[in-house]
Amino acid sequence: MATEGKNLSQYDKNTIPNAKDFRFGIVVSEWNEEITEGLFQGAFDAWIENNVKKENIVRWNVPGSFELIYGCKKMQESFEMLDAIVAVGNVIQGETKHFDFVCEGVTQGIKDLNVQSDIPVIFCVLTDNNIEQSRARSGGEHGNKGTEAAIAAIKMAQLRKDAKFYKG
C-alpha cells in the first residue's frame, strides 16, 4: 500500500515493545530544514510518547542526506551503547540527475551500515518529487515518516535485544 492509502503516524501502541530503557541516536540532514526538522520532531515525540528518556536520545546534524552515511557510521562507532539509529533526510527532485545519485547513494550507504554494524540504522529519508509531497509526509495529510521511523527503531531495538538473548 502506498503512503497515499495510509497515515504514517498511526500505530497500535499495544504492539510497541517497552522502550523505557532503550537509547537512540538520530542523525538529521540540514538540507530542506523545514522538512527534516518536522521529521525529527515526529520521531522525538513518538519516542517520548513511548517512555524513552530524553537523556537517552543523541542527535547529530549533517549538511545533506549524502552525509547521513558517514554521520551514522561515526555515531555507531562513537556510541556503542545505542540500540538503534534513525537517519533523517529529505531529497527533492531538481532539474538534473543529481537527485537519482543522492537517493541511490544514501540508500545503499545506509543498507551497508545495517550489514556491517550491529546497531540498526532506520531509513527516514523522504525522496520526493516536490516540496508538497515532503510536507504531506512530515506532519501533513499523510502523517509523519519520522514517527514511523521512531517506531521502527523501537521494534528493531527489541529484535536486536531478543537476538542477543537467544545467542547467549
Ligand X SMILES: CC(=O)[C@@H](O)COP(=O)(O)O
Ligand Y SMILES: Nc1c(NC[C@H](O)[C@H](O)[C@H](O)CO)[nH]c(=O)[nH]c1=O
Q: Which 6-65 positions form the footprint of ligand X (CB under 6 A)?
A: none
Name which of ligand Y, ligand X, none residue 127 binds, using a CB cut-off of 5 to 8 Å depending on partner kind.
none
Name which of ligand X, ligand Y, none residue 96 binds, using a CB cut-off of 5 to 8 Å depending on partner kind.
ligand X
User: Which is it for strands 143-144 and 138-140: parallel, antiparallel or unpaired?
Assistant: antiparallel
State which residue has the least CB distance to ligand X.
Answer: 94
Q: Which 51-70 positions form the footprint of ligand Y (CB under 6 A)?
A: 63-67
Catalytic status, residue 142:
no
Name which of ligand X, ligand Y, none residue 29 binds, using a CB cut-off of 5 to 8 Å depending on partner kind.
ligand Y
Residue of 91, 121, 124, 149 that binds ligand Y (CB under 6 A) = 91
CB of 114 vs ligand Y, minimal distance in Å: 20
Name which of ligand Y, ligand X, none residue 66 binds, using a CB cut-off of 5 to 8 Å depending on partner kind.
ligand Y
CB closer to ligand Y, 84 vs 92: 92
The C-alpha atoms of residue 8 and residue 137 are separated, in whole angstroms, by 7
Residues that bind ligand X in the complex, under the rule CB under 6 A: 91-92, 94-96, 98-99, 102
Active site residues per annotation = 98
